[in-house]
Amino acid sequence: MWATTVRGRQLHFHLAGINNQNFIMRDEETGSWWQQVTGEAILGPLKGARLERVPHDELTFATWRREQPAGRVLRPDERVAARYESADWEARMQRVPVATTDADATAGQRTLVAGLALGGAAKAYPMNLLAAQSPVNDKLGPTPVLLVVGDDGRSVRAFDRTLDGRAAEFFRKPDAAPLRLVDAATGSEWDFTGRAVAGPLAGRQLKQLPVLLDYWFDWHAYHPDTLLYNAGAR
Amino acid sequence: MNVEPRTARPTPTRPRKLLWLIIALTVLIALAFVLTPAWLIQPFRPQTPAGLSVSYTLRRWSPPLTLSAVIVVLLCAVWLWRGARWWRKGALVLALALACGLAWLARQNHFEWMFNPLARPAYARANEASFVADTDMVLAVNVNGGAAAYPVRQMAYHHVVADTVGGVPLVATY
């Protein structure tokens, strides 16, 4: 998700190609080519320019609708609806071959990871580990981070878990639906959006961090120095 | 029997041969400009930075270059047309058609043939969106109090959707 105003000019983007299975966009105004995953112009008059990221979540529709009942949803285009992916497309994607010049085998190439990039440091969290261990209290570079998987088992959010200058530890409140987290220091209760809803810290909001759900091969290609979270992996 | 004297048709002379050579080279160069990027940027094949750079340059210059190719082939064909045998005329028509076809292709984006762009994105209210299943994933943004969701199954086809949320022009990509 990218803001489209670059150097005071609004750009209009088109799908224009593919680079090791991550697509290239072309802007109508200058004809420059942009890499989708990094938002960077890789060729053309704007080469080196970067799009400003608009933070986004990747959630199940049910979770999003509960949080944003007044929001709006993109309608399908009836002319091409037959060409949309089917409901089981994620399972099918697992069988699509991977073509890339980057061949790192630390994790399976199509392992679904939640990728976190923060001030030059990057770490990938396999979704199956997150779903089993959520919430995960971790550290990336100097930043204490918190990764939380929603009630649906698929939505994931990351937060900076610094509270009043100290790294807070979060636990899951047993049998709470929708899910509630509890911080160890104050016992306050927090919801999936990172807001304290009960206890001494009620009303406080954790700073959300951008997460990218991606395949390991793609994440690794664009974050070659990435770490891989594997605590508790078998 | 009606045998025309051989001298009635001009025999191919050196300048005529040169014009044929120019036509052949022009069509080959235009063909290379149009097909090379399509070949280098194939899905399910790895790409290199050098290959992308070559593709960008060829794509950038192929519209004016193929237009010039049409003009060159047309001029040569007009020059050669008079007195050419029928099969040579056929070859001239074919070369011109090929040059025109390449000029058209140079102005097409075949990735948008495969994945039609969404010309006029339309939206439904969250509680009226019966076309999304509860378990479907969506990309969700929240800007200045405006909230929008883009179902991943639609995004995996269109890949690029322009929108303005909370007054901020943005592009949803997947």
Average pLDDT over residues A27-36: 94
Average pLDDT over residues A19-43: 90
At A6 the pLDDT is 93
Distances, alpha carbon A184 to alpha carbons A50, A134, A170, A207, A208, in Å: 40, 15, 6, 18, 19
Q: Are A24 and A17 in contact (CB under 8 A)?
A: yes
The answer to whether B50 contacts chain A (CB < 8 Å) is no
Residue B159: its chain A contacts at CB < 8 A? 15, 23, 36
C-alpha dihedral, B144 to B148 to B152 to B156, nearest 10°: -80
Q: Are B41 and A17 in contact (CB under 8 A)?
A: yes
Does residue B4 have a pLDDT over 80?
no
At A209 the pLDDT is 93
Span B117-145, pLDDT tens digits: 887 889 999 988 888 999 899 999 999 98
To the nearest whole Å, the CA of A44 is away from the closest chain B CA by 8
Average pLDDT over residues A134-139: 95
At B111 the pLDDT is 84
CA gap B134, A59 in Å, rounded: 10
Cβ of A56 within 8 Å of Cβ of B141? The answer is: yes
| Average pLDDT for chain B | 89
Beta strands in B15-165 (DSSP E): 123-125, 137-143, 146-151, 160-165
Residue A62: its chain B contacts at CB < 8 A? 134-135
* Bridge partners of residue A126, in order along the sequence: A113
Q: How confident is the model at residue B11 (pLDDT cuts 50, 70, 90)?
A: low
Does residue A233 have a pLDDT over 70?
no
To the nearest whole Å, the CA of B98 is away from the closest chain A CA by 24
Span A55-66, pLDDT tens digits: 899 999 999 999
CA gap A223, A138 in Å, rounded: 19
Cβ of B41 within 8 Å of Cβ of A74? The answer is: no
Q: How confident is the model at residue A18 (pLDDT cuts 50, 70, 90)?
A: confident
For an interface test with A, give the residue of B39, B41, B48, B52 to mutate (most A CBs within 10 A).
B52
Residue A58: its chain B contacts at CB < 8 A? 137-140, 152
DSSP 8-state code for residue B129? -
Lowest mean pLDDT among A75-84, B6-15, B88-97: B6-15
Distances, alpha carbon A98 to alpha carbons A23, A94, A221, B35, in Å: 14, 10, 12, 24
Does residue A234 have a pLDDT over 60?
no
At A119 the pLDDT is 87
At A195 the pLDDT is 95
Residue B145: its chain A contacts at CB < 8 A? none
Average pLDDT over residues A184-189: 93
C-alpha angle B93/B96/B101, rounded to 5°? Answer: 120
At B2 the pLDDT is 52
The pTM (predicted TM-score) of the whole model is 0.81
CA gap A182, A88 in Å, rounded: 35
Residue B103: alpha-carbon gap to chain centroid: 8
At B60 the pLDDT is 93
Q: Are A34 and A25 in contact (CB under 8 A)?
A: yes
* Coil, helix or strand at residue B134: coil
Tokens representing B20? 């044929």
* Bridge partners of residue B138, in order along the sequence: A59, B151
Lowest mean pLDDT among A22-31, A103-112, B65-74: A103-112
Give A93 or B53, the one with higher predicted confidence.
Answer: B53
Average pLDDT over residues A6-31: 90
Span B26-47, pLDDT tens digits: 999 999 999 999 898 887 788 8
Span A77-125, pLDDT tens digits: 888 777 777 766 666 666 666 665 555 666 677 889 999 999 889 999 9
At A43 the pLDDT is 94
Instruction: Write the DSSP string, A31-59.
Output: --EEETTTTEEEESTTTT-BPPBPPEEEE
